[in-house]
Amino acid sequence: MDLAYYPGCTLKTRARNFEQSALAALAALGVNLVEMPRWNCCGTVYSLAEDDLVHHIAPVRNLALVKQAGQGKVVTLCAFCYNTLHRANLVMRDSPEKRTAITSFMDDVPAYAGEVQVAHLLQVLRDDIGWDKITARVRKPLKDVKIAAYYGCTLLRPQSAAIDSVERPTVLQDLVRALGGTAVDFPFATECCGAFQVVNNRDIVNERAKMIIGSAVRNGAGALAVSCPLCEYNLRQAQATLGQGNSGFTGLPLVYFTQLMALAFGLDPATCGFDQNSPQTQTWLRQQGLVS
């Protein structure tokens, strides 16, 4: 199965591990992510101002290119990209006036009215591939590994973009179980890490990280499965700060869900790019026998 794929900027730079592990894991499932040519940055955030149409151009242009390539669906890995592309897509689909205005700014792509479906990889795994097929590909079940599924915000809010139940999602836990692991539920699974506030206010992000990680630890998690590169960065840098000195804060390994897939499929750990994960994560992987 070939799927049009929009990587976004971060997956080519600071989160190459996310993309690499995804490509490898999906290849093992017979799924080929075909990177769309000439993609541009989605803009990171979806503009929430009614009169700001200019910032919709970046995401919409990508979708128009997908349509131009004859594809009906585009898959993303980065949760931020997913949210921005998905919501911009709805504008083009549902608002004729805005569509006209945005279109007038783009003369290098064909007319676009929201025909393409924007999907996050977790949706594809659940709906198009199916857990049974994923379990069938597992060679090294994540036995005795307790993983807390951390969603963050952008996969679930607003309702119109949600890939699962806004308050009680299960898709990431279902994936963990399909890979043979034990999924740990914890109350901060859908709580915000602070997102872009890290630019100006690390203290609040560190406070959020402490609560999220602390809650996962109290509920028995050995590691946190993440799906957003900004969440991963925020939690990683917070843990590094919080773990300094005699704070007693231990933190948790942070692993992209695609890295968990690659490991469970018995693929070479080199496909996972673990050098970009935190040192704590790398230690944990060795301790668990997930990498040698």
Partner 1 sequence: MNSANGSFTKRALVIGGGIAGIQAALDIADGGYEVILVERSPSIGGHMVQYAEVFPTLDCPQCILTPKMVEISQHPNVRLMTYAEVQAVSGSAGNFEVRILQKARRVDHAKCNGCGTCWQKCPQKVQSEYNAGMATRTAVYVPFPQAVPAKPVIDCDNCRYIHYQRFVAEKRPGKKPMECRICEKLCPVGAIDWEEKDRIVTERVGAIVLATGFDLMPIERIPEYAADPDVVNGIQFERLLSPGGPTAGVVKRPSDGRIPKEVVFISCCGSRDPEHGVPYCSRVCCMYLAKQALLYKHAVPDGQAYVFYIDTRSTGKGYEEFMQRVVTEGVLYLRGKVSKVSRDGDRLVVSGADTLSGKQVEIAADMVVLGMAIQPANGIKALLTRLGVAADDYGFVTESHHKFQPLETSVDGVYVAGAAQGPRDIPDSVAQGSGAAGKVLVLFSQGSREAVAAK
Partner 2 sequence: MRIELSSRKLRSEFVRKVVEISGQDLMLCYQCGKCSAGCPMGSAMDILPNQVLRLVQLGLEEDLAQTKTVWLCASCLTCTARCPKGVDLSRVMEAIRVLTLRKNRNYVEPSRMPPDAIADLPQIALVSGFRKLTS
Which of 70, 104, 199, 292 touches partner 2 (CB under 8 A)?
Answer: 199
Closest approach, Cβ 268 to partner 1, in A, equals: 39
Q: Got the DSSP string for 208-249?
A: HHHHHHHHHHHTT-SEEEE--HHHHHHHHHHHHHHTSTT---
Closest approach, Cβ 89 to partner 1, in A, equals: 23
- Answer yes or no whether residue 201 interacts with partner 1 by CB under 8 A: no
Name the 3-class secondary structure at 101.
helix
Q: Which does 165 bind (CB under 5 to 8 A by kind): partner 2, partner 1, none?
A: partner 1
Closest approach, Cβ 188 to partner 2, in A, equals: 10
- 200/202 Cα distance (integer angstroms): 6
- 205/195 Cα distance (integer angstroms): 8
Q: Which is nearer to partner 2, 29 or 240 (CB)?
A: 240
> Residue 191 burial (CB < 10 Å; 0-12/13-18/19+)?
middle
Let me know: does 32 contact 3? Beta carbons within 8 Å.
Answer: yes
- Answer yes or no whether residue 151 interacts with partner 2 by CB under 8 A: no
- Answer yes or no whether residue 107 interacts with partner 1 by CB under 8 A: no
Q: Which is nearer to partner 2, 41 or 101 (CB)?
A: 41
What are 169's strand-pairing partners?
A: none
Q: Which is nearer to partner 2, 132 or 167 (CB)?
A: 167
Stretch that binds partner 2, among 99-107, 113-121, 189-197, 248-256 (CB under 8 A): 189-197
- 37/14 Cα distance (integer angstroms): 20
The stretches of the chain forming alpha helices (DSSP H) are 16-28, 57-68, 79-94, 96-104, 121-123, 131-137, 171-178, 202-218, 229-242, 257-264, 279-287
- Answer yes or no whether residue 20 interacts with partner 2 by CB under 8 A: no
Q: Which is nearer to partner 2, 93 or 157 (CB)?
A: 157
- Answer yes or no whether residue 192 interacts with partner 1 by CB under 8 A: no
- Answer yes or no whether residue 44 interacts with partner 2 by CB under 8 A: yes
Q: What x-and-dash track marks residues 237-266 binding partner 2 by CB under 8 A?
A: x-----------------------------
Q: What is the signed CA dihedral for 207, 211, 217, 218, rounded to 10 degrees?
A: 140
Both tokens of 13, joined, read: 């730079």
Asked if residue 158 has a cis previous peptide bond (ω within 30° of 0), the answer is yes
- Answer yes or no whether residue 120 interacts with partner 2 by CB under 8 A: no
Interface ranges with partner 1 (CB under 8 A): 165-168, 187, 215, 218
Tell me which residues touch partner 2 (CB under 8 A).
9-10, 13-15, 41, 43-45, 47-52, 55, 78, 80, 153, 156-159, 166, 191-192, 194-201, 203-204, 207-208, 229-230, 233-234, 237
